């Protein structure tokens, strides 16, 4: 058994970098702080790769498969013997996989940002926030207990808030950062309630105890029933609410498109590859509890995932801001992952969905980070997010063009690129579990191919556009991460995930089910074909199609008016019927009491302040008179 205690350094190094560059960054040259951040992340990445190699090559034992190892743990907050909060690092297949994903994408984003953010004000601030985010995210995936996860969960929320609001002079960025923070914070309220319910009933925060198939959480699955479901099911639903908020699942997704106000590398790192999959990771981490103790909650996960993926895919077809298209595509792909978890069972081949979800998480991180970084290169070249003002960029941006095309093919699920394999496993898992969700996912596969190629053609083909100045390819520091991630997107699909990341740690065999794979590829090709027909050259077809389904088009363009529903509920209902009476109470009763007390004191002090005359002899006279009076009282009257 290898000793993995050093893994605690993986989050701590970025933390040290954050503190150092955050405090002293303004005194050094911007590029130096960027290089320090990149160096720290490289160190974390090397440690993560080392951990992954040792764990996946030596951590496996026949019979039990990959076991989870508590590598490091300290008592952080000791309240009572029962209520002790610990921090540490837990090594098991999914946490090791996440370490690799996070450090890889984060390192690529660091390198890319050296070029993308060059000359921006607050360059060092950007890099210190990136380090803070890396620290929080790595701490989250290494969490040994659910409370540590919650702490880091909030930390990633905060760093996401800071990075979305990086351009704090732009009102839309400030609004977006607040929206992201408040919506996810609201969801985290559910997470906290779920944690409290779960740990109250099981007397533990520890993941290993919680997820052990014979542990207290699953053994006491009955618990007390409330409204037809066990307490365990309720608590898992509440925990999933936190995960759904962070992962932008319907209906808590409204913050994700707005979060694209942040710098593009941030969107690639936080809002595509790592933070938004924290919800998937949370469900995967507690998967045995869901699968064995709370199957109803797991069904909810599946449906939320399925609906979100369809919903987001429909919206993505009509958006014109390239980053928003990618944001909805992210939401759709995370819906896939949630769905895969939801249709999975525990153990062996039943755990196909679990494996597929993590597989898709891995491949998605590669190709979605690639898409965002490619979009960043495009934005860098033409200084606009709006794809209606783009076209014919393939001549100017050859490397970006090729890598973007690779990512589009990957996400569309064309073999032999990685997206095909992971998506196919998800479809197989869905097919064996729930046919309705299975057909939803077929539809989403077609829509995904369509909107991604709509995006691709609109940027790189289409009309001849005249730019103010000739767009130029990004510098090498930006194109090299694109190329690295493109290799990841191409080859990640050949990783034997079914041998590495399974629900109970024991490898199992998978086969490609061609009866499912071939139709899905055909649907994807159909989507690509339609997109090619409509957008490769400028034609009147898109407008005609939009006119033919004008209602659906309008609803999709306006994102099904979910934002408006939220605004109605908050502004019209909550503000008018709850906030205003509370504000009145605060202003008149609470403030009135305080102001009244202060007023009384003021009036009485005005009336007696004349005694403070500043004349020493007057004081002495009062003193002498008082003394004499006291003497007389004590001598004669007592």
Partner 1 sequence: MTGVIPLHAFLVISTLMFFIGIYGFLTRRNLITMLMSIELILNSVNINFVAFNRYLYPQNLSGHFFSLIVIAVAAAEAAVAIAIIINIYRNFKSIDVDKVDVMRF
Interface residues toward partner 1, by CB under 8 A: 609-610, 612-617, 620-621, 624
Helix or strand or coil: residue 225? strand
Looking at beta carbons only, is 540 or 616 nearer to partner 1?
616
One-letter-per-residue 3-state SS of 14-58? HHHHHHHHHHHHHHCCHHHHHHHHHHHHHHHHHHHHHHHHHHHHH
From the list 52, 42, 64, 46, the residue with the least C-alpha distance to 2 is: 52
Q: Which is nearer to partner 1, 228 or 610 (CB)?
A: 610
Burial degree of 226 (CB within 10 A; 0-12, 13-18, 19+): exposed
Tokens of 607: 């009336």
Instruction: Considering the complex, state which of residue 576 and residue 627 has its C-beta at the smaller distance from partner 1.
Output: 627
Cα separation, 88 vs 103, whole angstroms? 18
| Shortest distance in whole angstroms from residue 162 CB to partner 1 | 50
Minimum Å distance from CB 632 to partner 1? 15
- The distance of closest approach from Cβ of residue 616 to partner 1 in the complex, given in angstroms and rounded to an integer, is 6
Tell me the pairing of strands 229-230 and 225-226.
Answer: antiparallel
Helix axis angle for 322-342 and 278-285, nearest 10°, is: 10
In 3D, which of 164, 238, 168, 233 has the Cα closest to residue 196? 238
Name the residue nearer to partner 1 (CB basis): 466 or 615: 615
Least distance from partner 1 to the Cβ atom of residue 623, Å = 10
Closer Cβ to partner 1, 200 or 621, answer by number? 621
| Closest distance of CB 610 from partner 1, Å | 7
| 460's tokens | 């790189």
Q: How far is the CB of 598 from partner 1 (least distance, A)?
A: 18
Write down the least CB distance from residue 600 to partner 1, Å. 18
Measured distance CA(365)–CA(323) in Å, rounded: 16
Least distance in angstroms from the C-beta of 607 to partner 1: 12
What is the crossing angle of helices 93-116 and 476-491, to 10°? Answer: 150
- C-alpha 218/C-alpha 338 separation (Å) is 21
Return the number of the residue (585 or 621) whose C-beta is nearest partner 1.
621
| Nearer Cβ to partner 1 (465/613) | 613
Nearer to partner 1, 64 or 627 (CB): 627
Residues 6+ apart with CB under 8 A from 11: 44, 89, 134, 135, 136, 138, 139, 142
Beta bridge partners of 88: 73
Instruction: Compute the least distance from the CB of residue 602 to partner 1, in Å.
Output: 13
Nearer to partner 1 by C-beta: 82 or 616?
616
Reported in sequence order, the residue ranges of 471-603 that DSSP labels E, i.e. its strands, are none
Nearer Cβ to partner 1 (511/605): 605
Minimum CB–partner distance for residue 613 and partner 1 (Å)? 6
Instruction: Using the minimum distance from each CB to partner 1, give the nearer residue, 227 or 611.
Output: 611
By residue count, the chain amounts to 638
Query: Residue 212: left if φ>0, alpha if ψ -120 to 50, beta else—which one?
Result: beta
Q: Reduced to 3 states, what is the DSSP secondary structure of residue 392?
A: coil
Residue 71's nearest CA partner among 161, 143, 151, 5 is: 5
Q: Shortest distance, CB of residue 601 to partner 1, whole angstroms?
A: 15
The set of residues, in sequence order, having a beta carbon less than 8 Å from that of 47 and lying 6+ positions away, is 6, 7, 9, 10, 13
CA pair distance 180, 178, nearest whole angstrom? 5
């Amino acid at each position: 058994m290898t000793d993995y205690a050093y893994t605690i350094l993986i989050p701590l190094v970025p933390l040290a970098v954050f503190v150092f560059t955050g405090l002293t960054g303004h005194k050094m040259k911007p590029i130096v702080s960027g290089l320090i951040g990149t160096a720290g992340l490289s160190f974390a990445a090397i440690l993560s790769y080392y951990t992954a190699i040792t764990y996946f090559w030596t951590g496996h034992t026949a019979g039990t498969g990959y076991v989870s190892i508590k590598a490091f743990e300290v008592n952080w907050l000791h309240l009572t013997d029962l209520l002790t909060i610990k921090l540490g690092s837990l090594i098991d297949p999914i946490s090791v996989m996440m370490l690799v994903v996070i450090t890889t994408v984060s390192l690529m984003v660091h390198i890319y940002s050296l070029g993308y953010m060059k000359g921006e004000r607050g360059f060092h601030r950007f890099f210190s926030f990136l380090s803070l985010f890396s620290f929080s995210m790595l701490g989250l995936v290494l969490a040994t207990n659910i409370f540590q996860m919650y702490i880091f969960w909030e930390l990633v929320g905060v760093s996401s808030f800071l990075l979305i609001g990086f351009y704090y002079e732009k009102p839309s960025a400030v609004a977006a950062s607040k929206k992201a923070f408040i919506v996810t914070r609201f969801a985290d309220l559910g997470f906290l309630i779920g944690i409290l319910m779960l740990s109250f009933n099981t007397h533990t925060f520890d993941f290993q105890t919680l997820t052990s198939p014979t542990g207290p959480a699953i053994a006491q699955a009955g618990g007390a029933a409330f409204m037809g479901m066990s307490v365990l099911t309720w608590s898992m639903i509440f925990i999933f609410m936190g995960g759904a908020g962070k992962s932008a699942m319907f209906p808590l997704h409204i913050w994700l498109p707005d979060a694209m106000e942040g710098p593009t590398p941030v969107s690639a790192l936080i809002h595509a590859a790592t933070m938004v999959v924290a919800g998937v990771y949370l469900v995967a981490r507690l998967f045995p509890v869901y699968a064995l103790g709370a199957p109803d909650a797991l069904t909810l996960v599946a449906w939320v995932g399925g609906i979100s993926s369809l919903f987001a895919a429909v919206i993505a077809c009509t958006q014109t801001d390239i980053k928003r298209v990618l944001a909805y595509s992210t939401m759709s792909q995370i819906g896939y992952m949630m769905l895969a978890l939801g249709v999975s069972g525990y153990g062996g081949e039943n755990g196909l969905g679990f494996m597929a979800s993590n597989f898709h998480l891995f491949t998605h991180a590669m190709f979605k980070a690639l898409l965002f970084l490619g979009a960043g290169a495009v934005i860098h070249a033409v200084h606009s997010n709006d794809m209606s003002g783009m076209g014919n960029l393939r001549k100017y941006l050859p490397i970006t063009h090729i890598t973007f095309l690779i990512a589009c093919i990957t996400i569309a699920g064309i073999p032999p690129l990685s997206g095909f394999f992971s998506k196919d496993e998800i479809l197989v898992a869905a097919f064996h579990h729930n046919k309705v969700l299975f057909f939803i996912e077929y539809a989403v596969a077609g829509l995904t191919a369509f909107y991604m190629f709509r995006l691709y053609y609109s940027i790189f083909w289409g009309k001849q556009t005249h730019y103010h100045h000739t767009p130029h390819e990004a510098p090498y520091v930006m194109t090299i991460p694109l190329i690295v991630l493109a290799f990841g997107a191409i080859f990640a699909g050949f990783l034997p995930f079914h041998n590495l990341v399974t629900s109970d740690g024991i490898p199992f065999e998978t086969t490609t089910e061609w009866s499912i794979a071939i139709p899905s590829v055909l649907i994807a090709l159909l989507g690509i074909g339609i997109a090619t027909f409509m957008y490769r050259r400028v034609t009147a077809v898109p407008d005609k199609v939009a006119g033919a389904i004008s209602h659906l088009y309008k609803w999709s363009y306006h994102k099904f008016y979910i934002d408006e529903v939220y605004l109605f509920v908050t502004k019209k209902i909550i503000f008018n019927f709850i906030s205003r009476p509370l504000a009145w109470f605060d202003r008149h009763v609470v403030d009135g009491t305080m102001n009244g007390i202060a007023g009384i004191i003021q009036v009485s002090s005005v009336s007696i302040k004349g005694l403070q005359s500043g004349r020493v002899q007057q004081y002495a006279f009062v003193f002498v008179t008082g003394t004499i009076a006291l003497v007389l009282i004590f001598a004669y009257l007592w």
